[in-house]
Amino acid sequence: MSGQADRHWQEGERAVASGNLAMARRAYAAALAEAPRHVPSLLGMSQVAGRLGSHREALAATMAAFHASPQAAPLLFGLARRLRHFNEYEALCECLAHPRFAADAPAQAMAEAAVMLSSIGANSQARALVEKAIQKAPGHAASHYVRGNLRAFAGEFELADEDYARGLTLDPRLFQCSWMRAGLRTQTATSNHVDLLRRQLRSATPGGMGEVYLQYALHKELHDLGDYAEAWIALEKGNAIKRSLVKFDAGESERLLAGLAELCDRTFCTSGGQASQGATPIFIVGMYRSGTTLLERILAGHDEVADAGETYAFAEQMRRATDHATSGPLDGELLRRARECDYAAVGRGYADASRWLSRGKGWFTEKLPANFLLMGFIAKAVPSARFLHMQRDPMDTCFSNLRTLFSDAAAYSYRQDELVGYYKGYRRLMDHWRDVLPGRMLDVDYRKLVLEPEVQARRIADFCGLDYRPAMVEVQREGGDVATASVAQVRGGISTQRREAWRPYEAWLGPMIEGLRDPCCQTSN
């Protein structure tokens, strides 16, 4: 490394620490003028350019760092974080497969890297890495938590429970373990963690995420035990704290949905890119907790379909085309820039990404429910895309949202009024897509799917251009990973019993019940 480049890089780091991003950018540029493959400066430039609003410049710096082939574990870890930020899945896997990373990185970095890999569906690589982390540091609590999650995703619930218990033994304040283990099974009067959860709550920081994890876990376990009054109290507390920690503007959300419908008329949606995709993407869209995981599991039973899971691969192509980063699939600024977007370039970029997502198969699923926001852009850029819209009873869907603790998604779901308002906007937008995308979207009714799975699976396969396979309805089969809140339910097979969980809480759900009486909320099929 050039000594002069190092000095400029250090100047850039000091400028970042003081909040002077313009000065940091100049310092990193000076370092790169001395040594164009100076990885620390490339990573610094990526961070600063992104914070200054230049998504493409930040991406270019990240990819230059990747092609510079860093060898040191700290640089590999920093690079991996940036690659994950830009949804560069193949490069991320390659970066974290470098032997120096597993050999030299501390257990905490290895656990975080395993989470990155798991978030893109690279669970085998994630498991290998976290196993090495535990071998390196058996007392590292977070590594046991991560391994517990990976085991849960694979349906290894007893082993997952052991990891969560071990994580809590090593760090009694790692309350995520308590939250995750509550969902591994149905709790019983003779086997539950209610007393432990209540003791943990006394030690949790009031109003923090630790209390949120514990309140949601307590709600789940009390619900299993039929103590609905106490379960509701726990859910209300968890919802209130989580709502105070997230940003959601109902008015902005309403304007965004209206703006989408105004921009994406039939002419807009049918005149765009013609890039050959190679594999056919099947976008599973709808509300969270509407049965999208079950639908993906059915499709993944087909030997010609790869299940890519919940990715932001298409959203990333829109960010690159508009040179604007969003925290979710869409925001107002991206919508404004989308009017002048190069959709042929979006289609080409998505075709590149789909080679990794499809894993050599002819079809692949994209199961990010919130992609319903991007359907007009997807239809325009990827004419071969198929859309499956999963619909479930409005009360079942909304109550399930209300009692699910999301990570960074569904900020609308922690207050009944905001949840109902968002649901209404979603239904109006889906009506719009039906109108402007005739024949491109198939509505799939959750109740019909669980009552007559083979009939509906045949209908779904036909719409997607696939031949039906009997394995499609064997969702309890071994193999594959389910990395959503539905993991335990889906592993138990298709069930007709998962309806009206909200009934015991009817006395407290007045705003939701009243709001969902609106005719726009009724299921269409």
443 has a pLDDT exceeding 60: yes
Residue 496 has a pLDDT of: 59
Percent of the chain at pLDDT > 70 equals 94
Q: What is the reported pLDDT for 96?
A: 98
pLDDT confidence band for 271 (50 / 70 / 90)? confident
For residues 305 and 225, state if they share a domain. Answer: no
- pLDDT per residue as tens digits for the range 452-498: 999 999 999 999 999 999 999 988 755 555 545 445 554 455 665 66
Q: Round the average pLDDT of the chain to a whole number and report it.
A: 93
Least confident residue range of 127-131, 158-162, 424-428, 514-518: 514-518
The per-residue DSSP string of 334-368 comes to HHHHGGG--HHHHHHHHHHHHHHHHTT-SEEEE--
CB 31 within 8 A of CB 38: yes
Q: Is residue 78 domain-resident?
A: no
What distance in Å separates the CA atoms of residue 409 and residue 497, rounded to the nearest whole number? 27
The amino acid occupying position 409 is: A
**What is the reported pLDDT for 327?**
86
Whether residues 231 and 259 fall in one domain: no
Query: How much is the pLDDT for 148?
Result: 97
Which pLDDT score is estimated for 489? 53
How far apart, in whole angstroms, are the C-alpha atoms of residue 267 and residue 256?
20
Q: Are residues 261 and 195 in the same domain?
A: no
Please give the residue that has the higher pLDDT: either 409 or 137: 137
What are 419's two structure tokens? 């949840």
The tokens describing 303, both together, are 């030997």
Q: Provide the pLDDT for residue 523.
A: 61
Provide mean pLDDT across the span 343-357.
Answer: 93
- Please indicate, yes or no, if residue 479 is contained in any of the structural domains: yes
Q: What's the pLDDT score for residue 491?
A: 41
Instruction: List, as one string, the DSSP characters of 266-312.
Output: HHHHTSS-----SSEEEEEEE-TTSSHHHHHHHHHTSTTEEE--S--
Which tokens belong to 322?
Answer: 């508009």
**349 and 413 part of one domain:** yes
Q: Take residue 244 and report the two structure tokens written for it.
A: 């105070």
Q: Rounded distance, CA 96 to CA 73, Å?
A: 9
Joined together, the tokens standing for residue 172 give 């009694």
Does 222 lie in the same domain as 368? no
User: Which three-class secondary structure state does DSSP give residue 246?
Assistant: coil
Q: Report the C-alpha gap between 484 and 360 in whole angstroms.
A: 24
- pLDDT value at 524 more than 60: no
Residue 370 covered by a domain: yes
pLDDT at residue 273 is higher than 90: no
Q: How far apart are CA 239 and CA 212, in angstroms?
A: 8
In a domain, 90, yes or no: no
Give me the percent of the chain exceeding a pLDDT of 90. Answer: 89
For the record, the structure tokens of 148 come out as 């517990």
Same domain, 236 and 295: no
Least confident of 27-31, 335-339, 481-485: 481-485
* Average pLDDT of the segment spanning 284-309: 94
Considering the domain architecture, whether residues 480 and 425 belong to the same structural domain is answered as yes
Domain CATH number, residue 501:
3.40.50.300
3 exposure class (CB count in 10 Å sphere: 0-12, 13-18, 19+)? exposed
In a domain, 142, yes or no: no
Query: What are the tens digits of pLDDT across the range 199-238?
Result: 999 999 999 999 999 999 999 999 999 999 999 999 999 9
Q: Are residues 185 and 303 in the same domain?
A: no
User: Strand order of the sheet with strand 305-307?
Assistant: 305-307, 363-366, 280-286, 386-391, 441-445
For residues 297 and 457, give the distance between their C-alpha atoms in angstroms, rounded to a whole number: 11
Residue 509 lies in a domain: yes
Kindly tell me the number of DSSP H helices and DSSP E strands found in the chain: 28, 5
Give per-residue pLDDT as tens, 391-420: 999 999 999 999 999 988 899 999 999 999
Residues 425 and 382 in one domain: yes
Mean pLDDT of 341-346: 93
Distance of CA 430 to the CA centre of its chain: 21
**Are 255 and 227 in a shared domain?**
no
What is the rounded CA–CA span in Å between residue 494 and residue 424? 28
Distance CA 514, CA 11 (A): 59
344 and 214 inside one domain: no
pLDDT of amino acid 467: 95
Strand partners, 364: 281, 306
Q: How confident is the model at residue 278 (pLDDT cuts 50, 70, 90)?
A: confident
Is the pLDDT confidence value at 136 over 60?
A: yes
Please report whether residue 9 resides in a domain: no
Residue 402 lies in a domain: yes
Domain count of the chain? 2
The range of the structural domain enclosing residue 440 comes to 250-265+274-521
Q: What is the pLDDT of residue 497?
A: 60
DSSP 357-420: HHTT-SEEEE--GGGGGGHHHHHHH-TT-EEEEEE--HHHHHHHHHT---SSS-GGGGSHHHHH
Q: Tokens at residue 406, please?
A: 């999301």
* pLDDT above 50 (res 102): yes
What pLDDT is stored for residue 90 in this prediction? Answer: 95
Residues 239 and 374 in one domain: no
Mean pLDDT of 138-147: 98
Structure token digits, residue 281: 């993407």
- Residue 131's φ and ψ, nearest 5 degrees, are -65, -40
**Strand, helix or coil for residue 174:** coil
